Homo-oligomer: A and B are copies of this chain.
Amino acid sequence: MSTETKITPRAQDYNQWYLDVIAAAQLADYAPVKGCMVIRPDGYAIWENIQRVLDGMFKDTGHQNAYFPLLIPESFFKKEAQHVEGFAPECAVVTHGGGEKLEEPLYLRPTSETIIWSMFRSWISSHRDLPLLINQWANVVRWEMRTRLFLRTTEFLWQEGHTAHASDAEAEEECRRMLEVYRVFAEEHMAIPVIPGRKSEKEKFAGALRTYSIEAMMQDGRALQAGTSHHLGQNFAKAFDVTFQDEKGQRQLVWATSWGVSTRLIGALIMAHSDDKGLVLPPRLASRQVAIVPIPGKQADPERMTGEARRLADELGLGRAVVVDDRPNLSPGAKYHYWEQHGVPLRLELGPRDLEKQQVVLVRRDTGEKRSLPRGGLREAVRQELEAMQREMFEKARAFRESRTYSVDTEEQFRKTIEEPGGFLRAHYCGDTECEVRIQNETKATVRCIPLDAPAEKGRCPFCGKESGRRAIFAKAY
């Protein structure tokens, strides 16, 4: 594997920069099948950390994992009218199995509401069976014309929560609870500030009453939807005839939610934090938090230095999160470069003079800051540095977002600002889908969400002039 890959600067070509960062950090490759990706070990390790943290949060909120089939009969999709309209055009279809043509075509799941609600029917009969709180970690397939690694691929990995409730209010509560789980995860683990809000009618999930999302800003000012939570009402219960007997003995239709995040989050991590030197990862999601580079001086014995580096690694007590770079064929400089491109949060350099002075040199990946630390108390110093980096990356991303968020009140302001400098526009929104389509066609901006905390404020849609009760966030989006 090559240890050096050229990275195009962001200012020169943002899209190429994104692909170069992924290639240099060896996170993913395009697969030989159109639109599919291979997630390489260093990319998959990020996903494993995302899974580990989120899975714990799901279990802490009472959810259990299960697994439902990849293959869904075509007829299932047709049971919920909006759902089939939204998803059928992007489905991959299995027509043959075991050498024979199938009687009914099978869709590869683009999402699992239909197959799951067909099972919920036999699992739910009484109010005592509710709430039913299920999550699934799985691959899904959506046929995409224009793909981009992590952000939009034909197959991707995700989790999908599917829950069943006895009342509208309980479903709404669940839906908002999981949106909050996503917000906490994005901000505290991914170090990405997000805006939780409600999607417009046009942008809601096919088959939902309403959709909530968290929206993040990337370094080019574009928005990225980082997670969604849907209140599905009774639509799937109706389609699959799922009822329960309430405490009074009455049959009632069940209320539903679904919510999900995907490997797209890895794309968000890259675009939110990385720089022209390569990947920058928040410490909490980095599988390797510290890289130790031993520097054999002119007189020094390389094996002795490697041994010292290993001892240092043990002192840190971080297990597999510390790597000692003992590759004999690479110079220290080449190793620095390698770990910078791979986004390892902290680098420790250890040379003969450091040994003499009982110190190590610490370099922060995000700031490039370099300083010497005494060997004594290093374990605690490294722990604190990782925490500081996590916090400061979030603050930096938040400051950037603030600096690129604009309140606009006129069509002219809107059109100018979305073009240059671009970012999040806080503008009044009339709620009219036709107007929304026009704005998108003419400016490429979409309603990202109506923030949950948007204050009531009388105003008018800058485009159609209709009255509006609060501002939405508009942006160009991934």
Binds B, one of A90-98, A337-345, A350-358, A377-385: A90-98
Q: Give the complex CA separation of A70 and B142 in angstroms.
A: 12
Check A157 against B1 for contact (C-beta < 8 Å): no
- A-to-B contact residues, CB < 8 Å: 1, 29, 31-33, 36-41, 43-45, 47-48, 59, 64-73, 76, 89-99, 105-106, 108, 115, 118-119, 122-123, 125, 128-129, 134, 138-139, 141, 143-145, 154-155, 157, 320, 329
Q: Give the complex CA separation of A36 and B118 in angstroms.
A: 14
When A31-B119, A90-B98, A139-B70 are in contact, do A48 and B65 touch as well, CB less than 8 Å?
A: yes
Q: How many copies does the complex hold?
A: 2
Check B71 against A36 for contact (C-beta < 8 Å): yes
Q: Give the complex CA separation of A142 and B89 in angstroms.
A: 26
Check A31 against B69 for contact (C-beta < 8 Å): yes
Closest to A72 in B: B33
Contacts beyond the supplied A32-B76, A32-B115, A40-B66: 5 A-B pairs with Cβ under 8 Å = A38-B119, A41-B66, A89-B99, A90-B98, A92-B96
Check A65 against B44 for contact (C-beta < 8 Å): yes
List B contacts of A99 (CB < 8 A): 89, 143
When A64-B44, A92-B94, A96-B93 are in contact, do A69 and B33 touch as well, CB less than 8 Å?
A: yes
**Smallest distance from the beta carbon of A65 to chain B beta carbons, Å?**
5
Closest to A126 in B: B1
Q: Give the complex CA separation of A252 and B89 in angstroms.
A: 47
Q: Give the complex CA separation of A44 and B44 in angstroms.
A: 22
When A32-B118, A139-B70 are in contact, do A95 and B95 touch as well, CB less than 8 Å?
A: yes
Interchain Cβ contacts under 8 Å between A and B, 10 examples: A32-B76, A33-B71, A38-B66, A70-B139, A71-B154, A89-B99, A93-B97, A94-B108, A99-B143, A139-B139
Closest to A144 in B: B98
**Residue among B59, B76, B93, B329 making CB contact with A95, cutoff 8 Å:** B93
Q: Give the complex CA separation of A93 and B71 in angstroms.
A: 12
**Smallest distance from the beta carbon of A128 to chain B beta carbons, Å?**
7
List B contacts of A128 (CB < 8 A): 1, 329
List B contacts of A115 (CB < 8 A): 31-33
**Residue among B38, B41, B93 making CB contact with A65, cutoff 8 Å:** B41
The 7 A-B residue pairs whose C-beta atoms are closest, nearest first, are A98-B143, A41-B64, A36-B69, A39-B67, A93-B96, A92-B97, A97-B143
> By CB atoms of chain B within 10 A, which of A65, A90, A105, A138 has the most?
A65
Q: Give the complex CA separation of A271 and B36 in angstroms.
A: 39
List B contacts of A118 (CB < 8 A): 32
Check A29 against B143 for contact (C-beta < 8 Å): no
> By CB atoms of chain B within 10 A, which of A29, A31, A45, A90 has the most?
A31
Q: Give the complex CA separation of A108 and B106 in angstroms.
A: 12
Check B97 against A31 for contact (C-beta < 8 Å): no
**Smallest distance from the beta carbon of A44 to chain B beta carbons, Å?**
5
When A36-B69, A41-B66, A138-B139 are in contact, do A94 and B93 touch as well, CB less than 8 Å?
A: yes
Q: Give the complex CA separation of A108 and B71 in angstroms.
A: 11
**Smallest distance from the beta carbon of A230 to chain B beta carbons, Å?**
21
Q: Give the complex CA separation of A402 and B400 in angstroms.
A: 69
List B contacts of A40 (CB < 8 A): 66
List B contacts of A157 (CB < 8 A): 67
**Smallest distance from the beta carbon of A244 to chain B beta carbons, Å?**
12
Check A37 against B69 for contact (C-beta < 8 Å): yes
Q: Give the complex CA separation of A154 and B41 in angstroms.
A: 28
**Residue among B96, B122, B138 making CB contact with A29, cutoff 8 Å:** B122
Q: Give the complex CA separation of A89 and B94 in angstroms.
A: 15
